[in-house]
Structure 1
């Protein structure tokens, strides 16, 4: 608030009052004097006057036993600050008022509040809402209304919900109008909304001046306006806005509560001119005021018989509650038997300001008023903080001859469709679906985007930069029209994005640094032109960098990102021993080991068990002979492996071998047919340590990057065109060229499309965000263009444009796009066949364990069957040799040739019995090979001497 001019005016006013005005004053009054200062010719003043008078009558009608009664002294300020101050002095000096209610406006209140502080008389205003009035320097000023700053959060929530990014405040040039602006701007900044322009309307403005200002606003892009002014000035503004076409589709108007709170009392023509506007209104439960409103309307007609009827507003309710608070405080203090004023001792020639009397009741009345809390007509009435506390606001939409609810806002719950006085963690509505539908200006139901390119305004200035790669961007001037024409990958992306916008966007290209044939101009300088407002947007192969985002905003990137090196490549394949390359050393060792292990398992299964069934002295043959005989016998008998366990092992091994051989064949074919290249330099650190020359594109940020990486500045060389650094790479560092060229990945991709057989990419070793378009800070176009770019990069259009401008050429079409060469095919290792090794090993090991278990089981069974029983018999009953009875023996002895000696007969008898046993045992061998082995081992020695003529 500008207080210096007001103070001077105030002092000049006080000089005109003489000490004589203090004559004939008395400290005793009939009733308790209370002054009221209002603008009685205004709508708010008339409503407030009726409410005050009605409140006084209602209070004492409800409290007939009270001993005190206040007497009102009403004065008209005439909407003039000097007259308001004069009225206050009159009330203080001539009527000894102990409380002043009013004045009506914030600028008037700043005068009167100074008088209240000097005289210690509380000044209570229920209409002065400027935040500048609330300070520690005005302890006797009480605001029985809301501070204007209380509503800025609800406005910001509303703007956030609908996604508008730019707002233009339109306010009157008074303390009331200016007071809210700092708070409003701060609230908008919290939601990333900008204020590109402010419109200030003086009170003395003419209708023509309002029209000129509105036409000026129409030439700007922003279409969201916040109106903060008195109802009288607002009526003129909206009437003119409708005349010039600004109350049509695409425009957004938001009114503060100073207008919206009394919109019901405005004329029908003004309300119709406001159709489509949104407004913030203090919430009052009107259903509780039906009977009171009827009585108030009747009283208003009595007080203003010549005026048209007006509707009760929140200012009238606050005035009503203020009188109740004052009357209650006067009763509680008790003033009947006390002197109301205290005169100071002053010099003879002093002014009336120095002679101003100090109220005795003022300090105590102020304390009681601030402590008094009650439920009034306006709601909960609490002045403990010298002003009403933030409450609930209603969001309204002016429509037809009235308005409708859109939603509600309170500090705890934010904006919501239904009134909710509870607490919520959500500050903003999730979407417009959480609010009731709005009828926007022009009777449109489509939510305005909040900005547009004016038809009468200039086209969007799009800055273009000649790139070293014409595939990305180039431009030239049309010799006939003089217009700048541009082409390239970056241009096509931008033009495709503009086509996808939901609105028309006229633009024209403006060339940067057109006097030069190549793009030696710095890209930082190019982007800086956007900050200087030479361009509305800068497009091209512009790298998104943190340093540039300090003064511009970027869209989402439309290319891949990163910084890498281009280095010469060399062949690496030695085809002499290439047949060993498909498999790694570990895999070769593992495969050979698995081969021998599987062979041993099969041999054990075919021989350890099978050898037990061979005749004669096979046990004593060498191992090699037995192995040959085993396989020969198997092939001879069945021509195939007979045992089921051996079959399982061999089937798993064959499966493993087939897969391994397939992978080996495929990898070997790749190594024999594909040219393999290796970089001559493997990392940026290796290049730095080597001390060789390194190149970069002139004007690129890469130079600063290399310096940050501690490269010797004498080794860093700049080049303008791809042909320049191609020639430098061809020479090499030792011949005055470079060993590597550091560039961004999109450029490297384009370079390698032409030189894939000679050079390769190493990296990226540094991360960047890619290429984007630069916009001014807070540009409303930024979000829409970014969404359009995303729709392009996520579809097939981006592939078509890349094939058009960056497609591979000639022999490079089969080369990998990211590196420019095909890297060595990876050798097959153990991990590639880990599952097969496990499967083969488990199958072989399990088969071997099962075979061994079977072998030992059979062996144990045979040993058990050959053990002697309790009768001393050596064989089982069914295997016992047949006994020879005595008759048979005698018959044998009587045969010819029986004359041999007793010992010879015994030997023959023993041999016969043994041969008989062998015959029985031989027959049982066919059923049980294990028994045969046992007999062979135990009886072989004795069988040997038997004559071959024996029937055995």
Structure 2
């Protein structure tokens, strides 16, 4: 009994100790975290519960927890979500985070969903080393600068390539940006504007709308946009404000034909969750959104999700579909659950700074999560496949490379194409191409634009409320015929006339696909320097005094800094005019001109050489080539020169002579034909030959050269090497006088100017001067428009059509009438030079080599034949020497000669 009591007492004591331990554990919260062999990990969840995105996110995350742990029963950790409502307020979001960290001791936070709220929450996460997994997409929130920020959605700037490709595909040169006035709206702007500059598209206006903006403010802003020319609008804002905006857009009549509305993925991705009345206001809108591959698993989940969502949100009046934000929220819960298991997080521990505690803030009281860095490393580069496709985090940021291009038609958005970083716009995800392209023909089907139109909007239009196009034109320092000013005798109104004006009117009134109203405004260009005056005129466009400048405005690189030019409507280039040489067809020595002196000398030498070779070959075998010395010399010259007419009284009998003559006749035939042709040309077209054919000859000869007063040609001549003292300035009326005097008599040897001006001068003096060149490249005359003007491409196309038709010739003839002979002479710029040795050296080489070959063969045969005769003669003399002993001296000399094989 005592023993029993002792055991009972011991047992009671043990039981009491166990009960005390349980009470202690309960008080410490340990049993709250460890239950059933699993560690409960507290995770904060920041939502905007009253927004559609918040409701979608909540349902998706709850289902993610259930689905994940149902398939991962062996996990030792389990997330417990603690939701808090941020009420779409930055302060509320920050307060909710501090409450979760201070009172719940959460080890990670999911959310918030907006970038403006996330900006404050991320800073708290950085200080407490608690990872913040958010769907905030603003580029202003950097994962590099905020190490504890995990972006579970692609950054907003990832869609810029798709947006810019759409704009480029339809050749829109100006757009208007409409964005939300917060960090989310402004975050994308620098990236988008830089990308648009690369395709020469200008942001004409930025419309900033605050979340607190009234409907009246939105209407006033839209009325302002209506008065502008630009009709392409890119809208970047969140769903609540976008819904209000498009209702007002439809109300003011800006959702009609001719308008273009492009929306970013924050709006496009939520179209399935929008009130149908809002979608009706967006008919014809195009947008981009992240591509989600279809799968049976995803379809089944959507059915389950829809049932669950309706049960949890019975008060929603319209049907709501699961969108990409719900899928990313679903994946972010899985991401955190896997990371927690990998890091083996247990009881949370926060270390506090070593201070006296007198000036502590709430964050100092909370401290920093000891396991934060380990958990962060488990999250930052995780990769797995999920309902949305590949969920790939790189340095804490979700990657995305494929976007859908959609068109809002009816009650939903329809897929019209894809965009990828590798291929650009395409009909398929894996297109049959190897390069990046942005063609509208690569879309799956044509886009239905606002107003149910299939016609691609040009992106701008002249509005009734906007002023007429202000056309500036110069009234001084211009050449007669190009542009002039007159006054209407009745109204005293200023009238612009001239070649440039007629070209401009023809293009604007007849060759544009739309009507443009304009008015001409004169601009006085004082000063003698035409180039500087015209620079000043062009600069008036940058000062917004003119919309376009018309006149003899040369397209120059320095002017492109302020304006955009159309393609040139006149000839391009700088040329020179020089006097025509005196007509030398009556010159007694004109027959010598076709050949240079070197050519004459070489031909004469060949005549003598060929005649000598033939004489050598024929002399021994042809009696006609024998006789007194003077007769033989005459024979050499006569036989060679008579080849020119291919008639010889003497006949050749040696085959080598015939070979030489055959080659020589071929050479003579070509030379005489060339000579005849050159002489004929000189006799018939000699009057078109200029005195100078190369501008460098003017520099070598030290001649004076002239140019238009104040023109940029002066600097051009100096850069080409002309001495400043050799350059003179004139106006068009003085060109003839300066050229007539010549360089040696106080005038100039040539005038250098732009081709259009020289054409005017030659129309009066075509019989005295000829144009040589062009000597330098220039772009001709063009119309100057405001930088980024959408009129430039259309006007350029109109100029091209005009130049290809007959109307340009009519306009030219109207202002620069010329005689038929002058036109022909100026169009034919032919110069002639004498024939040189270089052109015939191959022929001369053939003739010389063939003659030498024949001569060598003849001499070889001759020596061989005479060697046999010599040997025979030497044998007879040796026998005679043996018989006559008295001739010893003669024998020695003669016999030695025979032994040496010398001729007798």
Give yes or no for TM over 0.5: yes
Which residues of 2 match residues 139-288 of structure 1 at below 5 A? Answer: 139-287=147-295, 288=297
Stretch moving more, 110-119 or 783-792:
783-792
Tell whether the 8 Å contact from 2:272 to 2:412 is kept in structure 1 after alignment: yes
Cα distance between partner residues in 1 of 2:192 and 2:682: 73
The CA deviation at 1:310 is: 0.9
1:941 equivalent in structure 2: none
Residues 1:426 and 2:435 aligned together? yes
Tell whether the 8 Å contact from 2:160 to 2:195 is kept in structure 1 after alignment: yes
Which residues of 2 match residues 831-870 of structure 1 at below 5 A? Answer: none
1:674 equivalent in structure 2: 687
1:73 equivalent in structure 2: 82
Tell whether the 8 Å contact from 1:410 to 1:421 is kept in structure 2 after alignment: no
The unaligned stretches of length 5 or more in structure 1 are: 1-23, 632-637, 864-952
Cα distance between partner residues in 1 of 2:572 and 2:347: 87
Instruction: Say if 1:206 and 1:640 are closer, same or farther in 2 by CA, change over 3 A.
Output: same
Cα distance between partner residues in 2 of 1:687 and 1:834: 29
Stretch moving more, 751-760 or 112-121:
751-760
Stretch moving more, 707-716 or 556-565:
707-716
> Among 321, 327, 332, which residue is 2:331 paired with?
321
Cα distance between partner residues in 1 of 2:676 and 2:165: 66
The CA deviation at 1:76 is: 1.8
Instruction: Say if 1:155 and 1:140 are closer, same or farther in 2 by CA, change over 3 A.
Output: same
Cα distance between partner residues in 2 of 1:620 and 1:732: 61
Cα distance between partner residues in 2 of 1:619 and 1:567: 59
What is the DSSP-based 3-state SS (H/G/I as helix, E as strand, rest coil) of the residue aligned with 2:203?
coil
Instruction: Say if 1:208 and 1:419 are closer, same or farther in 2 by CA, change over 3 A.
Output: same
Which residues of 2 match residues 579-728 of structure 1 at below 5 A? Answer: 579-589=591-601, 591-592=603-604, 659=673, 662-663=676-677, 666-667=680-681, 669-670=683-684, 674=687, 678=691, 686=699, 696-705=707-716, 719=730, 721-724=731-734, 726=736
Cα distance between partner residues in 2 of 1:620 and 1:536: 96
Residues 1:476 and 2:486 aligned together? yes
1:534 equivalent in structure 2: 545
Tell whether the 8 Å contact from 1:749 to 1:817 is kept in structure 2 after alignment: no
> Among 95, 109, 125, which residue is 1:100 paired with?
109
2:377 equivalent in structure 1: 367
2:642 equivalent in structure 1: none
What is the DSSP-based 3-state SS (H/G/I as helix, E as strand, rest coil) of the residue aligned with 1:441?
coil
The CA deviation at 1:318 is: 1.0
The CA deviation at 1:335 is: 4.5
1:61 equivalent in structure 2: 70
2:391 equivalent in structure 1: 381
> Among 333, 336, 341, which residue is 1:331 paired with?
341
1:906 equivalent in structure 2: none
Greater radius of gyration (CA): 1
The CA deviation at 1:756 is: 3.9
Tell whether the 8 Å contact from 1:523 to 1:700 is kept in structure 2 after alignment: no
Cα distance between partner residues in 2 of 1:240 and 1:353: 45
Tell whether the 8 Å contact from 1:649 to 1:847 is kept in structure 2 after alignment: no
Cα distance between partner residues in 2 of 1:411 and 1:728: 64
Cα distance between partner residues in 2 of 1:814 and 1:576: 29
The CA deviation at 1:813 is: 4.9
The CA deviation at 1:481 is: 5.0
Cα distance between partner residues in 1 of 2:355 and 2:854: 124
Instruction: Say if 1:349 and 1:472 are closer, same or farther in 2 by CA, change over 3 A.
Output: closer
Stretch moving more, 522-531 or 563-572:
563-572
The CA deviation at 1:740 is: 5.9
The CA deviation at 1:112 is: 1.9
Tell whether the 8 Å contact from 2:552 to 2:782 is kept in structure 1 after alignment: yes
Instruction: Say if 1:81 and 1:668 are closer, same or farther in 2 by CA, change over 3 A.
Output: closer
Structure 2 length-normalised TM: 0.78
Cα distance between partner residues in 2 of 1:249 and 1:452: 11
Cα distance between partner residues in 2 of 1:626 and 1:364: 115
Structure 1 length-normalised TM: 0.75
Cα distance between partner residues in 1 of 2:77 and 2:111: 22
The CA RMSD measured in Å over matched residues stands at 4.6
The CA deviation at 1:388 is: 0.8
Which residues of 2 match residues 465-504 of structure 1 at below 5 A? Answer: 465-466=474-475, 468-481=478-491, 483-498=493-508, 499-504=510-515
What is the DSSP-based 3-state SS (H/G/I as helix, E as strand, rest coil) of the residue aligned with 1:475?
strand
Stretch moving more, 280-289 or 558-567:
558-567
Instruction: Say if 1:484 and 1:650 are closer, same or farther in 2 by CA, change over 3 A.
Output: same
2:892 equivalent in structure 1: none
> Among 20, 38, 46, which residue is 2:47 paired with?
38
Cα distance between partner residues in 2 of 1:705 and 1:354: 73
Counting matched residue pairs gives: 819
What is the DSSP-based 3-state SS (H/G/I as helix, E as strand, rest coil) of the residue aligned with 1:55?
helix
Cα distance between partner residues in 1 of 2:603 and 2:572: 43
> Among 408, 412, 420, which residue is 2:422 paired with?
412
The CA deviation at 1:172 is: 1.0
The CA deviation at 1:226 is: 1.1
The CA deviation at 1:399 is: 1.9
Stretch moving more, 529-538 or 180-189:
529-538
1:908 equivalent in structure 2: none
Tell whether the 8 Å contact from 1:567 to 1:681 is kept in structure 2 after alignment: no
2:880 equivalent in structure 1: none
> Among 434, 444, 451, which residue is 1:442 paired with?
451
Instruction: Say if 1:320 and 1:579 are closer, same or farther in 2 by CA, change over 3 A.
Output: closer
Stretch moving more, 750-759 or 700-709:
700-709
Cα distance between partner residues in 1 of 2:104 and 2:777: 79
Cα distance between partner residues in 1 of 2:29 and 2:367: 11
The CA deviation at 1:348 is: 5.4
The CA deviation at 1:653 is: 8.4
Residues 1:311 and 2:321 aligned together? yes
Instruction: Say if 1:44 and 1:249 are closer, same or farther in 2 by CA, change over 3 A.
Output: same
Which residues of 2 match residues 777-792 of structure 1 at below 5 A? Answer: 777-792=787-802
Instruction: Say if 1:431 and 1:643 are closer, same or farther in 2 by CA, change over 3 A.
Output: farther
Tell whether the 8 Å contact from 1:406 to 1:437 is kept in structure 2 after alignment: yes
2:473 equivalent in structure 1: 464
The CA deviation at 1:210 is: 2.3
What is the DSSP-based 3-state SS (H/G/I as helix, E as strand, rest coil) of the residue aligned with 1:104?
coil
Tell whether the 8 Å contact from 1:143 to 1:388 is kept in structure 2 after alignment: yes
2:754 equivalent in structure 1: 744
Residues 1:301 and 2:310 aligned together? yes
What is the DSSP-based 3-state SS (H/G/I as helix, E as strand, rest coil) of the residue aligned with 2:551?
strand
Tell whether the 8 Å contact from 2:447 to 2:454 is kept in structure 1 after alignment: yes
Cα distance between partner residues in 1 of 2:28 and 2:492: 88
1:554 equivalent in structure 2: 565
Tell whether the 8 Å contact from 2:483 to 2:551 is kept in structure 1 after alignment: yes
What is the DSSP-based 3-state SS (H/G/I as helix, E as strand, rest coil) of the residue aligned with 1:274?
coil
The CA deviation at 1:159 is: 2.0
Instruction: Say if 1:761 and 1:364 are closer, same or farther in 2 by CA, change over 3 A.
Output: same
Cα distance between partner residues in 2 of 1:666 and 1:570: 17
2:587 equivalent in structure 1: 575
Cα distance between partner residues in 2 of 1:383 and 1:347: 39
Instruction: Say if 1:624 and 1:325 are closer, same or farther in 2 by CA, change over 3 A.
Output: closer
Q: 1:276-296 CA deviation, whole Å, 9 max, x = no partner?
A: 222111111132401111111
Cα distance between partner residues in 2 of 1:738 and 1:652: 47
The unaligned stretches of length 5 or more in structure 2 are: 1-25, 34-39, 640-647, 870-904
Cα distance between partner residues in 2 of 1:715 and 1:836: 45
